[in-house]
Structure 1
Amino acid sequence: MQALGIIDIGGTSIKFATWNGQTIQDRHAIDTPATKADFFELVTMEVTKMKQQRKITGVAISSPGAVNKLTGVVEGASAIPYIHNFPIQAELSERFGLPVSMENDANCAALAELDSGAGKTANSLIFLVIGTGVGGAVIVNHQIWHGAHLFGGEFGFMMADETHILSELGTAPSAVKRYLAAHPDVPAVSGKTLFELAANGDVAAQQEVQVLYHALAKAIYNLQYSFDPEKIVIGGAISNNAQLIPGINREIEAIRKQVKIASIKPDIVACQYHDEANLRGAVVDFEQTYAQV
C-alpha cells in the first residue's frame, strides 16, 4: 500500500496526517483559514512538507458538503463557503502535483468503519452520525450510495413524526433543548447530564431521552427494511454512551411487536473509530478511486 497525505477539512480546524500503508502518522490540526487564498496556501505548504518528509504519492481528502465524485466539485453548503461550487479537486491536484481524492466526511467515516472498524465483516451497512443533527452514509457492496442529488445518507431530513424531522427529535442537543424549554429555571445541562438525570429518576429527563430513543429506533427500523444492511453503525459522541444502543433496541422491539411480520432485528453497533474515522476513510476512498483508474 502506498504512502499518502491525508487532509480532513473541518469548520473549526483542518487535520493533517500521513499514511504509511498501515497506520496514520504525523497527525496534527491547524485552525481553518478564513479565506480561500489562505486555505490554498496552508494546504499546499502542508502537502509540500509531506512530500519532502514522507515521499507521498497522493493526497486523500475528507470534506464537508456534497462532494461530486464525477466533477470534483463540492456542492451543497457547509461551514466553509469558499470550498464550494468550483473544481476544487482539480485545483488541489495541480497545486500539489499529485493525484487527489475527495469524499464527504460522513461517507469517509463510514468507509473507515467498513474497512477495518465496526463494520469490517459487512458488505453493506448504514452509518448514522448523531451530533447536532443526524447525518450518515449508505454503503452497498462496499461502495458509497451517493444518490441522485448527492443526498444519500442525509437521514436527519427523515420525518420522525407528523411535524418533526429526525434531527429535531433524535439528537442529544435537541433533547436538551426540549428539556430546558419545559424547565426554564434549570441551569444549562449537557447531553451527558440529561442522560444522568434520566438514570437518576428525573421524570422529565426520562421523557426526553425516551423521545430520542423512539425517534432513532423508528428511523433505524425503517432503514433496515428499506436497505436491509448487514449492520447499522452509530457514530458521533453519543455513541460512547453505553445506554444508547440498549435504549434504541428496546424501542425497536416494541415496534417489532406492533408489526407482527417484522422478522428482522437490526444489528446495531457503536463505531470503532472516532476522531480518526474521517482520516482513515479518506484513505479508503483514495484507494477505491484510483483502483478504478
Structure 2
Amino acid sequence: MSQKILAIDIGGSAIKSGLWGNEALTELPSYPTPKTWDEMKAYLKLLVEEHQITDGVAISAPGAVNVEEGVIYGVSAVPYLHRFPIKQELADFLSVPVSFQNDANCAALAEIWQGNAKGLESAALMIIGTGIGGGIAINGKLRSGTNLFGGEFGYQVMNDDTLETLSDLGSPVAMSKRFSNIKADDRSYTSKEIFDLAEAGDELAQEQIDYFYNALSIGIYNILVSLDPDRVLIGGGISTREDLLFNIEERVQQLLLKKGAKELKASIMPCKFLSQANLIGAVYQFLEEQD
C-alpha cells in the first residue's frame, strides 16, 4: 500500500500544500499564512483529518532549520515558528510523524532526488526570490554546514563600501525597488514590467537589469571558484526567463576568462522543479528520516 503524506510549504504570505502518494504530488489549494502558531496548528490538523493522513506530514519552512533538534533558528517572515521544539510539539498535536527542513534546502532536495542534480557528485543550487537562498549537494546529500549556513549564497558581500549582499543586489524584488526609487514616478514596478520596459528601449530599465545580471554572475562565479561543482542550478520564478540563463552564462564565462580560470567549465542550468520544488523536497526529507 502506497504512503500518503501531507506536504506543506510555509511562506510569508501563504501556505502551499499537497498530497504525496503513488510517487506523485497532487497540489491542494493554498491558504493565507495564519497569524499565530495556534491557528497554524489548527489549520494543519484540519488538513490531516480532512485527507485522513496517517503516514505523516512533511514541512518546508523558512529559517535555519536544525533537523536533528527539530528546532527552527534564525529569523523569517513567520516569527512564531522559531526557537522552541516545534517538530515534537506538532507531532504530538497531530499524532503523526512530522519532518521539517529549510525551504531553500527543500528545493535543493527535490533536484537531488528527481531533478537536474540527480546522480551528480556535486551541485550548487541558487534559489532566486525575494532574497537569495540555496543549497550545496555532495554525493546526493545536502551539505548544511556546521552552523546551518551551507548554501546561503545570498549573504555574499558584493560591495565593500556599502556591504550590500547578493540578496540586496541580485534579487528581482530588490531590482524592482531600486528601479522604482530611481524612476520616482509614484509607481511600484514589478520585475516583469522592468524587463518589458527594457525590451521597449527604456535605458534605466536596461541599466538596472544589467546591474542585476552582473550581481548574479559574480555570485555564481564565486560559487564556481569556491566549490567547483558539477553543476550550478538556478531556481525561483525568474529562472523561467529564457534570456536569464543566456545573460548569466555569458557574464560568468567573461569573468572566468578575465580572472585566469578559463579551464573551469561552468555548467549552469535551470532547476527542473519550480512551484512544487519545496513540497517535493519536503517529502524527500520526510522519507529519508523515516528510513
CA contact (8 A) 2:177 2:189 kept: no
Rate the CA distance shift 1:141–1:121 in 2: closer, same or farther, 3 A.
closer
CA displacement at 1:68 relative to structure 2: 0.5
Matched, 1:31 2:44: no
Cross-structure match for 1:84? 82
* 2:41 match: secondary structure: helix
Within a 5 Å distance, the mapping from 1:181-260 to structure 2 comes to: 181-185=181-185, 187-260=187-260
1:177–1:59 distance in 2 versus 1, CA, 3 Å: closer
Could you tell me how far apart the structure 1 residues matched to 2:46 and 2:101 are? 21
Aligned partner of 1:42 in structure 2 is 43
TM-score under structure 1 length normalisation: 0.92
Gaps of 5+ in 2: none
* Superposition deviation, residue 241 in structure 1: 1.2
Structure 1 stretches of 5 or more lacking a match? none
Query: Which of the numbers 94, 107, 110 marks the counterpart of 2:108?
Result: 110
Between the two proteins, what is the percent identity of the paired residues?
38
Is 1:131 aligned to 2:132, yes or no?
no
Counterpart Cα distance in 2 of 1:37 and 1:176: 35
From 106, 120, 123, give the equivalent of 1:122. Answer: 120
- 1:11-40 deviations in Å (ceiling 9; x for gaps): 222222211131112522222221221111
Report the Cα distance in structure 2 between the residues aligned to 1:188 and 1:26, rounded to whole angstroms. 31
1:128-149 Cα shifts (integer Å, max 9, x gaps): 1112211111111111121222
Q: Distance in 1 between matches of 2:173 and 2:61?
A: 24
Letter matched to residue 70 of structure 2: G
The answer (yes or no) to whether the contact 1:170–1:212 under 8 Å persists in 2 is yes
| Number of equivalences | 288
Which residue number in structure 2 is paired with residue 266 of structure 1? 266
Contact 2:119 2:140 survives alignment (8 Å): no
The answer (yes or no) to whether the contact 2:62–2:103 under 8 Å persists in 1 is yes
Q: 3-state SS of the aligned residue for 1:243? A: helix
Structure 1 CA distance for aligned equivalents of residues 91 and 17 of structure 2: 16
Counterpart amino acid of residue 7 in structure 1: I
What does residue 63 of structure 2 align with? 65
SS of residue paired to 2:6: strand
The answer as to whether partners of 1:5 and 1:56 remain within 8 angstroms in 2 is: no
RMSD of aligned C-alpha atoms? 1.8
